[in-house]
Structure 1
Amino acid sequence: MRRLVRVLREDDHEGVRPGEVWAEIARLVSVFSEGGAGVQLHVGAAAREVRLAPEVETSVHRVVQEALTNVRRHAHGAAVAVRVDADGPRLRVEVHNTAPAARHAVPVGGRGGFGLVGLRERVEAVEGALTAAPTDDGGWRVTADFPMLAAMAGSPA
């Protein structure tokens, strides 16, 4: 379990390579699923076409990474849905989990880093917004929205 959490939280020195954020998110979801967790990933067609600044791509990746890490630590056995789509001039990222299969008094894997506080700071630093709150079904939802780059003259998007 600790190895999986470490993989999900690991900072690679290069960060997310520009234009590869969707492949990296798919990889995160795949690693998370190896632990037997039920997780669905949906990246909308409109989201796949947007242009994001490299620092925004890294922040999108970190939102999904931190949310999945929190599910692993606090809601083991919960079903998870990761959704990414364009919402007007913003990119919206949402990670929702159902209630955990069993409650644990202490998070699995011990204490971590800066969690949602650090994540909120990262998102706001790139002009995004983050909300994280419990849901009516006993689960948790993390939602972030990010600015998209304007299309350049002559570009397809």
Structure 2
Amino acid sequence: MDKTEKDFLLETIMVDYGNELVRLAYSYVQDAEIAKDMVQNTFIKCYKNLDSFRNDAQIKTWLYRIAINECKDYLKSWNYRMVQVKSLINETAKSISPSVEKTVMDKYKSEEMKDTIFSIPKVYREVVFLYYYDSLNSEEIATVLDISVNTVKTRLRRAKQKLQLMIKEEEFNGR
């Protein structure tokens, strides 16, 4: 593949998947600017490795895998940990919003629902995000996260249970 073809392919990929990748990265890092940086790093790695892409998987799942790895590396970094310590000191508990599966699908954009989803463990949050927000099926999620399909289904079921409990508790407390 020559440079012109590679440049055109990258531009097409950026247009087709840029916004999805930013949302995916945001679900991990919870900061819009850092999410954009993670996606930029994803596209750089994509460009460098386009020649080695074997077409075994869809380009979308390959990009998701790169983006998730970028986010996970960032979350393990010293810089992120220092930001987290500072925000824990400055932040107060956030409220939770109503109604389970439908709310996850319909009201993900609302701040309360984001807070609820972001408060569940990352292993559950990532499957909820990929399943409901990016509309990936269990097999695609398994490929993206490099886990078995049964693990995806288990995590999704447990995430639903956790969200139901949190929402019921919130309703019980009258919020």
Name the TM-score, length of structure 2 as normaliser.
0.29
Q: Which has the higher contact order (CA 8 A, sep 6+)?
A: 1
Q: Which has the higher strand share?
A: 1
TM (norm. structure 1) is: 0.31
